[in-house]
Amino acid sequence: MESLFPDFNTASVFKAGEASGASGSFFFFSHDKKFIVKTMTDSEMKFFKKKISESYFSYLKEYQLSFLARIYGIYTVKICGYSSVNLMLMAHTLQCSEKLERVFDLKGSWVNRRVKVDPTEKTGSRTLKDVNFTEIQAKNPNLLNFYQIDLLLVLN
């Protein structure tokens, strides 16, 4: 409750525009960095509910050590006089205690889904995307064997 208490998150909400996604979605981290709140379009919400939610939650129930982002709920907020807003509440996945070598934001698309990486940059310092993933996997096919179950879910 404290993580999402409005009084503690006002600054995060107002800074959220600076960190909005390339898709135009609006998101912010809770003041304690435990959660992410992200907007969803009506079509994204409908797709999640009808095509993904049942298998997603079943999968996470079975594979509790999965590194997939934990989605705690999707909501529609309606305020009189304003358009309704769809929100997704999820855990901030980079809260794990282990050092992650690489972090990927996979969407299943290859359009504008590559991050230019400076070879002198520390591994893991940037969130990589779908094209980066396929390039890295092509060079080292055994690299992701620990994560293959998660990746199969994401890519299927």
Q: Which residue range is the domain that position 153 belongs to?
A: 99-156
- Listed residues 53, 73, 96: the one ending a domain: 96
The pLDDT value recorded for residue 145 is 45
**Whole-number mean pLDDT of the chain?**
75
- Stronger pLDDT, 89 or 14, i.e. the higher one: 89
Q: Could you tell me which residues are beta bridge partners of residue 39?
A: 87
pLDDT value at 76 more than 90: yes
Residue type, 114: R
The pLDDT value recorded for residue 86 is 92
Q: Could you tell me which residues are beta bridge partners of residue 89?
A: 37, 73
Q: Quick one: 13 and 81 in the same domain?
A: yes
Reported pTM: 0.62
For residue range 11-50, list pLDDT tens digits in order: 666 565 544 555 667 777 887 888 888 888 898 889 889 8
Q: Quick one: 90 and 109 in the same domain?
A: no
